[in-house]
Amino acid sequence: MQYAPIPYKPLIAFCMGELGLISRILAPKYGSYLTFGSLDVGKESAPGQLTAREMLGVYHIDKINRDTALYGLIGNPVGHSLGPYILNAAFRELGINAVYLPFKVENLREFVQGFKGLKVQGYSVTIPHKEAIVPLLDGLDSLAREIGAVNTVVSKEGKLVGYNTDSTAALRELEEAIGDLRGKKATLIGAGGAARAIAFGLKKKGADITLVNRTENRARRLAQELGCHYRRFEDVTKIDGEVLINTTSVGMYPKPDISPVPPEAIRPGMWVFDIVYNPLQTRLLKEAEERGCRALDGLRMFLYQAAQQFELWTGRPAPLELMERIVRKRLKIK
């Protein structure tokens, strides 16, 4: 059977809903006749629609074309992340034709396989996929292999290689604040991917680590791997230490009113570090300050890990000051 050639017809094509958000941004890359945003927050005419201000100011949609390189964040949820704000601004600042997108991913295996065709150059990986992504990658750098968790993926000639920038970022933040960590007693709340990265880093620095996690088995396994202590969650108030670190997402937007530990677990004089950065002053840190502790929020770790990702992807130094300014503006802090 013969078909008559179809005359060129302008087409507006994108997907709806929260999962379709990325296609609204990528519409100009793939030849959609147009894409559009809402006039303001709350004025969306369909779910998944961004505001015109976000499309222009965050994603620089007017600069997206066929050649725009793709980067993105894999997580669930991803709506709270400030990654798109700082990484898109960093690309723009350095004149790199690239866009960084939030990929809300429920089925990680299907995503990694299914999105290969999009030729994404690099991913950030966040909750809850940092460990689960390890066996789905084509390779790992030595630190990520040792930690067993990945927060950064670099596509090298189509092969996905995993890195971990959480560990260096967290340790840099802790050492800048506390100094030498050798012999310091540190309690870590959590036993997921972020906990692994921080615990392995602390171990190398000679800290004395105790793990506490809601799911005790997970803490036990990680403690065995690391050669450190673990305690039952119920015992968290009995642990003595100089440093308390929350590596979980408890206290993060949109549920900022909860703390990962009861206040009695916070001993006066402790250093308390919360990797949550949205909000910056979590309930845990507020209670820590009320108890005379020194509080370290998640801002620096977030910036340092993102800066190192940017450097792995582009081979160029990240505009750290600009990135910090943007985060502070978004979080409405000075």
Place of tokens 């689960």: 132
Establish how many alpha carbons lie within 13 A of residue 266's alpha carbon, considering only the half-sphere containing its beta carbon: 24
Which amino acid is located at 283 in the chain? Answer: R
Strand partners, 211: 188, 230
Buried b (16+ CB within 10 A) or exposed e, 69-98: bbbbbbbebbebbbbbbbbbbbbbeeebeb
| Helix (H/G/I), strand (E/B), else coil: 75 | strand
Minimum gap (Å) between residue 80 Cβ and ligand ATR: 13
Minimum gap (Å) between residue 312 Cβ and ligand ATR: 19
Cβ contact 22:14 at 8 Å: no
Q: Which of 214, 316 has the CB closer to ligand ATR?
A: 214
Q: Which of 99, 265 has the CB closer to ligand ATR?
A: 265
Minimum gap (Å) between residue 300 Cβ and ligand ATR: 18
Whether 119 is a known active-site residue: answer no
Minimum gap (Å) between residue 334 Cβ and ligand ATR: 29
Radius of gyration over alpha carbons of the chain, in Å? Answer: 21
The active-site residue, picked from 130, 159, 238, 334, is 130
Q: Which of 205, 218 has the CB closer to ligand ATR?
A: 218
Q: Which of 20, 77 has the CB closer to ligand ATR?
A: 77
Residues forming the site for ligand ATR (CB under 6 A):
126-128, 130-131, 190-195, 213-215, 218, 248-250, 260
Q: Which of 29, 130 has the CB closer to ligand ATR?
A: 130
Closest to 303 in 3D by CA, of 131, 176, 182, 213: 176
Minimum gap (Å) between residue 78 Cβ and ligand ATR: 12
Helix axes 193-204, 166-178, angle to 10 degrees: 50
Cβ contact 80:278 at 8 Å: yes
Place of tokens 């340092």: 304
**Which residue sits closest to ligand ATR, CB atoms considered?**
192
Cα(162)–Cα(139) distance, integer angstroms: 6
Please tell me whether the peptide bond between 319 and the residue prior to it is cis, using omega within 30 degrees of 0.
no
Cβ contact 192:245 at 8 Å: no
Q: Which residues belong to the active site?
A: 130
